[in-house]
A and B are shown apart, each in its own frame.
Chain A
Amino acid sequence: MATTHASASAEPTRRDFLFIATGAAGAVGLAATIWPFISQMAPDAATIAAGAPVDFDLSPVAEGQIVKLFWRGKLIFVRHRTAAEIKAAQDTDVTSLRDPEADSARVKPGKDQWLIVYGNCTHLGCVPLGNEGAFHGWQCPCHGSVFDTSGRIRQGPAPINLPVPPYAFTSDKAIRIG
């Protein structure tokens, strides 16, 4: 941008200022133009609105049963755990886990029998099969990740446990997810 004049000194010229100012305005304008094209990719208002909390009645879910439901388009497992499954989950040595998390941190206090977790494998999103695998929790048919009865990763490529969605008990036998 500097001119070839021999007199061109370290002092910036008016031309330098205009060059930088024009470039800066152009860059801001370009970013402002690109932003809508990026932003439109995000979940739209209807998709977000469909993420309103959902109520779910637990009473028909028999002991040992796993029920699937959808919230925000994502699959959620509701598992009515048996006493043996609860014991297996609680007796696990937490320090030996890839993603250390106590079973008590994954269920609501006093509701040990209800495990509510997202139903997509944390590896690449397939749906693990219930009551399968070495720990009788879930096993993913795609790449072999094995989860225990607390939904924690025990074997295979998945990096973290099946996450627990935000939910609360609205009564003894009903939950609200979201």
Chain B
Amino acid sequence: MPTLLDLVKSVSFLAAMPAVAGLLITAGILVVSRDWRLNVIALTVQYFFVVLLLTRQIHLEVAAVKGLVGWLICMVFYMTERRADALERPAEAEKVSPVQRWRRWAMSARASFSLLAVILITVAAYTAALRIPLPETEVPRDITLACYILAGLGLLLIGISESPMQVGLGLLTFLSGFDLFYVAIEPSLAVAGLLGGVSFLIALAAAYLRTVQAAAAAGEGEA
């Protein structure tokens, strides 16, 4: 049976620019998409790429634990959205298929704006990585770019969203970006544990607010 080390070695070729590209795509999806299923999948994949990059900076075991915390957060989001979906469904006055919903979304001004904003932030992050590089002795150039992309897109998501889940996703994306940088300069277990705890509490708070939102919507629907 392959060990964790073997598994990571088999995908280690991704732990450079491909992982950065993966982070850009997943974080971009989080900003543009409003479909919770896609968002949860994007966040799960995002944590995978974050762990891959982390393995270059800290012990594999610590990176794996950070990944596990991330995937646990994805599980919390998944279960919360499932529950919220069930609560809100009866309140939906209009039944539209997912395909129709996607078409509407793709045509909307918000989607265009989000996409454009993602592109702008990416360009800004790239420029920042070139002009304001993080110390290369601690953080390699490609990870610097990943940090800026995640922090920038996380901030964008926080700025343009009102929904608790979207804001939560934005906060976690921002924190992932910071974490990529901070583990390089402070690789202690205590900080890793506390940062993991912080991420998990943020996810719980967002999930709680999402549940309350769904319950309030369901209550209004019944009334």
Q: Are the chains A and B members of one assembly?
A: no
A residues apposed to B, CB below 8 Å:
none
